[in-house]
């Protein structure tokens, strides 16, 4: 999403889960805020899709907007559903997988 498109949603009441659509057999994303201090990105995951284990140099906050997923964080497994949030500490290994099609919001804090 370009800065121009991001500006179009500013000051409006939004249903975050409606801003990113499911796509068969894949993961889709839409960044709605991108600043030096951090970003907010919405994701949709088709069933059985996911993100392999990785780390990030910043804290990340994930909130499930719809559906159900399984999250692995530093060796622990968590079942998550709509309305639940988890904080990934900087540099902690994490991964996730869709149990059902699901949508999430990722907030990355860079500073």
pLDDT per residue as tens digits for the range 10-69: 889 999 999 999 999 999 999 999 999 999 999 999 999 999 999 999 999 999 999 999
Expressed as residue numbers, the domain containing 75 is 3-10+28-109
- Tell me which residue of 74, 72, 70, 57 sits closest to 104, measured CA to CA: 70
Number of domains in the chain: 1
Task: State how beta strands 59-66 and 76-81 pair.
Answer: unpaired
Residues 6 or more apart in contact with residue 31 via CB below 8 angstroms: 1, 6, 39, 40, 41, 42
Within a domain: 18? no
Is residue 32 within 8 A of residue 55, CB to CB? The reply is no
CATH number of domain containing 40: 2.60.120.10
Is residue 108 within 8 A of residue 60, CB to CB? The reply is yes
Position 42 scores a pLDDT of 97
């Amino acid at each position: 999403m370009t800065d121009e498109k991001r500006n179009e949603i500013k000051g409006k009441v939004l249903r975050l889960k409606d801003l990113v659509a499911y796509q068969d057999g894949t993961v889709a994303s839409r960044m709605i805020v991108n600043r030096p201090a951090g970003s907010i990105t919405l994701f949709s995951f088709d069933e059985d899709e996911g993100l392999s284990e990785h780390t990030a140099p910043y804290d990340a906050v994930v909130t499930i907007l719809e559906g159900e997923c399984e999250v692995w964080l530093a060796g622990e497994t968590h079942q998550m559903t709509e309305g639940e949030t988890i904080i990934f500490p900087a540099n902690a290994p994490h991964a996730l997988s869709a149990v059902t099609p699901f949508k999430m919001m990722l907030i990355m804090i860079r500073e």
